[in-house]
Amino acid sequence: MMRIHLRPSLPLIIAAVALVLGPAATRAANPYETDRPAAADTRIDRLVFAKLGKLGVEPVLCSDAVFVRRAYLDIIGVLPTADEARAFILDPDAKNKRRLLIDRLLDHPEFADYWAMRWSDVLRIKAEFPVNLWPNAAQAYHRWVRASLAENKPYDRFVRELLTSSGSNFRVAPVNFYRAVQNRTPEGVAGAVALTFMGSRTDTWTSNQVAGMAAFFSQIGYKPTSEWKEENVFWDPIGASAVRANVAPGRDAIVSTNPPPPAGVLPTNRPPAVAVFPDGTKVKLPADKDPREVFADWLLSPKNPWFAKAIANRVWYWLLGRGIIHEPDDIRPDNPPSNPELLAYLEKELVSSRYDLKHLYRLILNSSTYQFSSMSKSKDPKAAEMFASYPLRRLDAEVLIDAINGITGTTDLYTSPIPEPFTYIPEDMKAVQIADGSISSPFLTMFGRTARATGMENERDNRPMPAQWRHMLNSSHIQRKIETGPGLRPFFESKQASKEQLDLLYLTILSRFPTPEEIRIAEEHIESGTVKPAAPAGGSPAGGAGGGGSATMSGDMMAAGGDMMEAAARAPDRPAAGAKGSSSASSKGSARPAQKGTYDKAAAKAAAKAEYAAKLAGAQRRREGWVDIAWSLMNSSEFLYRH
C-alpha cells in the first residue's frame, strides 16, 4: 500500500536512521566519524592541510562504515553487499585495509561499467536526438570506451585515438567523437574538443582564437555507405565529401568530381593553410599530414598548459564533488584554482605516470582529504572550496535505481521508443551499463540523468526535487519493490526482530551496523507497532493509518491459517481430562446444556479461532514493522546521498 501519512512511531525511526549533519552526537556515539586523527601523510594532504590551517579547520576522518560505502559508490558505482561491508568494518587491519580495498575496487570489473557511464556523458554517446549517433554506432562507441577503461589505456593514447581516427562509425568506434558533435562546422568541432579535452568553453574566447583552432578541423569529411546509417569519417583535404554528386552510397573510394582548376588558379574550397593553437602559436599546416594530428601533437605534449590540468581537475571533481577549478569544464584565466599547488602536483603526477588515470585515482583515494567526514566543521564558505569535508551529493539516477534494485532483488524496464521497433534492454542489465543515452526510464528521467546533449558536467542534475521525494515516499513503483521483491522477503517473513537480522538489514541498506538506540526503536516498532483491528467477516485486514505496511498475508501464512481452521472444525467430541461421560445430543436430537467438566466443541473452535487471529495479527504486525523500517531506511538521507 502507498504511504501517504507516516505512522506515529515512524518519525522516530527516520530520525534515528537519517544522517545527522551536525555536532549533536558525541564522537563516541557517532557512527559516521572515527576517533583516529586525520594525518597529513601524503603530498595531497600537506597541500590541503596548509590551506585549512589558515581557516582554523581541524578535519576529521570518516568511519570505516562510511568509507566502505563511499569507496564502493565512488569507484564502481554500487553498494557493498552486507557481507562485504561487515568484513571490511570488522577487519582489524586498520593501517592497510582502506588501501587494499581501493586496490581491489580499481581492479573490479564494474569499475569499467561505472566509468564508461561517466565518460559516455562527456562524449555524448546517444543514438537519437539531438546527437543522432544511431544505435549501432552508439553501442560500438560505448564498447570501445569501456574496453579502453578496462585495459587502463593511457589517457593520452585514448584522446589521440578520439581525435585522429578515420573510418566507419560502426567499425572504428572513436570516429563517433566527431559524429556526436551537433554543430559539425569547424568552429563547432573546435568547441567540442576544447570543452572535452581542455576543460574550456570557447564561448569565452575571442573570435580569432576560435577561428585559429577551427582550422585544425576544417578538413574532416563525412561520407555515407550502402549500409543503413553507416558513415565514414576521414581526412578530406580536397573537400570531396562536400560535393553533392560524390555521396553515392556504397562507393569505396573518394574521388573528386570537381574539374581541376586552371593553371595558376587556386580552388575556392581550399582549406586554411595556417592554423593557430589556443596559446596563440601559429603553425603552417603541411599538405601531407592530417591537421587533426598536428593539433593532437600539440595538445598531448607534456608541456601543454591545458591537457593534464583539465583531466586532473575533472577526476578530482568526479571523486570529491567539486573541482579545484570549478566548474571542471570552465577553465579560464579569471577562474583560478582554489589550490594551485595541489592542481600542479596532480598534473605532474599524471604526466610522470605516462597518463595512467588509475595512478591519479589511487593518489586521491588514499589521501586523508578524500577520507574526510562529510560533517562540516566550519561555517566559513571558503572551507568547502578548500575541501574541508567530503561534500554531500545525491546518488546519480543510475546508481540510485541500481542500489534499490540490488537491495530489493527487482529490475526495471529500460526502453527507447525511437527508432521503431522499440529498443528493449535485457532484464538483468544495470542502469549504469546502458550504452545509449536514448534508452531510459521514467525514474532515470525524474532523477536527473543527463540528456547527453552538451557534454558539460552540469548537464547531470543531482539536486533533490519535490517530485523525487514524493516518488520515493509514496509511489507504487518503489513500494512494490520493497514489499514484493525477493531481496527483503526473508526479513518480512521473520518471526521476531533479532539483533542479527537488524544488523543484516542495516548492512544491506546503509552498509553499517545499527546503533543500540536504533535497535531499541526497531525492535519496539516491530513487536508492538500499532495495527488496526481486524476487519469484520468478509473484510480484509487493515494496514494502519495511511497504510503503513503491507495489507496482505503471505501465501505460507494463509495456508497455515487454513490448516488451523480446518483442524478446529474437525475436532472430535472427546471428553476433557477427567470426564466420565459424553456430551452428545439426546436421541431426540435436542442439545443438552454443557455439563461441568465436559468438552465444549464450540468453545474449542472459538479458542482456536482466537489463537489463530492473534498469531495472524502478530505476524502481520511484525511484517508491517519490517516493511516500515526498510522503507524508512531507503528514504533516509543516509541512503540517498553520497556522504
pTM, full prediction: 0.83
pLDDT of residue 609: 81
pLDDT tens by residue, 67-114: 999 999 999 999 999 999 999 999 999 999 999 999 999 999 999 999
Amino acid identity for residue 225 in this structure = T
**Residues of the chain where predicted confidence (pLDDT) is lower than 70:** 1-29, 242-269, 419-422, 529-599
In 3-state terms, the chain is what percent helix, strand and coil (to 5)? 50, 5, 45
pLDDT of residue 528: 75
CB atoms within 10 A of CB 424: 11
Query: Three cell numbers at 97?
Result: 585495509
Amino acid identity for residue 252 in this structure = D
Cβ distance 526 to 518 under 8 Å?
A: no
Averaged confidence pLDDT in the chain: 84
Give the burial class of 365: count Cβ atoms within 10 A of its Cβ; 0-12 exposed, 13-18 middle, 19 or more buried: buried
Query: Three cell numbers at 271?
Result: 582549406
Cβ distance 405 to 477 under 8 Å?
A: no
**Which helix (DSSP H) or strand (DSSP E) does residue 274 occupy?**
strand 274-276
pLDDT of residue 416: 87
pLDDT of residue 615: 73
**Which residues 6+ apart lie within 8 Å of 458 measured at CB?**
327
**Which residues 6+ apart lie within 8 Å of 578 measured at CB?**
597
pLDDT of residue 425: 85
pLDDT of residue 377: 87
pLDDT of residue 596: 54
List, in sequence order, the alpha helices (H) in 199-290: 207-214
> Radius of gyration of the chain from Cα atoms?
33
Cβ distance 346 to 360 under 8 Å?
A: yes
CA-CA-CA-CA torsion sign (288, 290, 293, 295) = positive
- What is the spatial distance between Cα 9 and Cα 18, in angstroms, rounded to a whole number? 15
pLDDT of residue 442: 95
Helix, coil or strand: residue 376: coil
| β-bridge mates for residue 274, sequence order | 284
Amino acid identity for residue 590 in this structure = S
pLDDT of residue 222: 95
